[in-house]
Amino acid sequence: MVKCKCGAVGIIRTSGTKRNPGRPFYACPLQGPRSGFISWVDEENHTYEVESQNLELEIHNEELQIQNRDLEIQNEELEIQNRNLKMLLIVSWILFFGIIVYKL
């Protein structure tokens, strides 16, 4: 959607000039067709598409960074759990052998 400087939403008109015959353009609905030119429809669509693609990629990139951070945090938590489990295993083996040795 293209807006004029005055804030009105541009309407599509077709150029009747010799340089751009039949070329659609956005025009201000509040001004005459000659003074209300905003932009060419084909050029506007092009920049709009590139811009929105860029924006989507940026958002995707940000989402991936957030996911990455979440995974790093999860990874750290798992490492801590892993360390705790190893400690528990060692302690239980020590206790187990301690009991056996004690009973013998």
Q: Does 90 bind Zn ion (CB under 5 A)?
A: no
Distance CA 21, CA 38 (A): 17
Stretch that binds Zn ion, among 20-28, 72-80, 82-90, 92-100 (CB under 5 A): 20-28
| Distance between CA atoms of residues 101 and 95, nearest Å | 10
Q: Judged by CB, which is closer to Zn ion: 11, or 15?
A: 11
Q: How many angstroms separate the CA atoms of 77 and 22, rounded?
A: 64
Q: Which of 10, 13, 26, 28 binds Zn ion (CB under 5 A)?
A: 28
Q: Does 8 bind Zn ion (CB under 5 A)?
A: yes
Among 6, 55, 64, 90, binds Zn ion (CB under 5 A): 6
> In whole angstroms, how far apart are CA 59 and each of 51, 54, 69?
12, 9, 15
Local structure of 38: helix, strand or coil: strand
| Window of 16-24, 28-36, 67-75, 86-94 that interacts with Zn ion by CB under 5 A | 28-36
CA distance 49 to 88: 57
Nearer to Zn ion, 29 or 98 (CB): 29
Residues near Zn ion, by CB under 5 A? 4, 6, 8, 28, 30
